[in-house]
């Protein structure tokens, strides 16, 4: 007999746990960037106040993962926004490492498969950004 179960999540956004979980990933990511000397070079590329970045990255990830697309509605492109920055292979590695830790700590134990999938795509994006902005 069919049991009464919830229908399976249909987007990565839903599977991750929606905006609250994305926000938790982003907050952990910027906390690590702000506090861990391993990311000092990456931190120095950013302005003193990371609050607008926390909002913007959460908004980007929300639309990117299949949730509400407010961030994209103004015609913003995350690759174009990074083109003027001098991203080196090392700062790209710092970005990915901090994000890897943030994702592992927030969703990694509960859903290793979606954590892996997110990181695979983010890794390709950081590689692309480092190549596109290579001095």
Q: Which residues bind ligand HEM (CB under 6 A)?
A: 42, 45-47, 53, 56-57, 60, 78, 81-82, 85, 87, 91-92, 95, 122, 125-126, 129-130
Burial 46-73 (b: 16+ CB within 10 A, else e): eeeebeeebeebbbbbbbbbebeeebee
CB of 1 to ligand HEM, least distance (A): 44
CB of 3 to ligand HEM, least distance (A): 38
Tokens linked to 128: 């692309």
DSSP code string of 1-37: -----PPPP-SHHHHHTHHHHHHHHHHHHHHHHHH-G
Considering the complex, state which of residue 86 and residue 110 has its C-beta at the smaller distance from ligand HEM. 86
From the list 37, 30, 18, 36, the residue with the least C-alpha distance to 99 is 30
Considering the complex, state which of residue 15 and residue 71 has its C-beta at the smaller distance from ligand HEM. 71
CB of 65 to ligand HEM, least distance (A): 10
CB of 14 to ligand HEM, least distance (A): 19
């Amino acid at each position: 007999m069919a049991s009464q179960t919830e229908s399976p999540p249909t987007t990565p956004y839903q599977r991750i746990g929606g905006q609250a979980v994305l926000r938790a990933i982003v907050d952990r990511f910027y906390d690590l960037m702000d506090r861990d000397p391993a990311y000092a070079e990456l931190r120095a590329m950013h302005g003193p106040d990371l609050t607008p970045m926390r909002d913007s990255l959460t908004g980007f990830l929300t639309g990117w993962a299949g949730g509400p697309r407010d961030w994209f509605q103004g015609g913003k492109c995350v690759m174009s926004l990074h083109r003027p920055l001098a991203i080196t292979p090392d700062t790209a590695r710092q970005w990915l490492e901090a994000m890897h830790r943030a994702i592992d700590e927030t969703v990694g134990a509960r859903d290793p498969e979606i954590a892996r999938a997110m990181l695979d795509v983010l890794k390709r994006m950081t590689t692309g950004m480092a190549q596109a902005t290579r001095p």
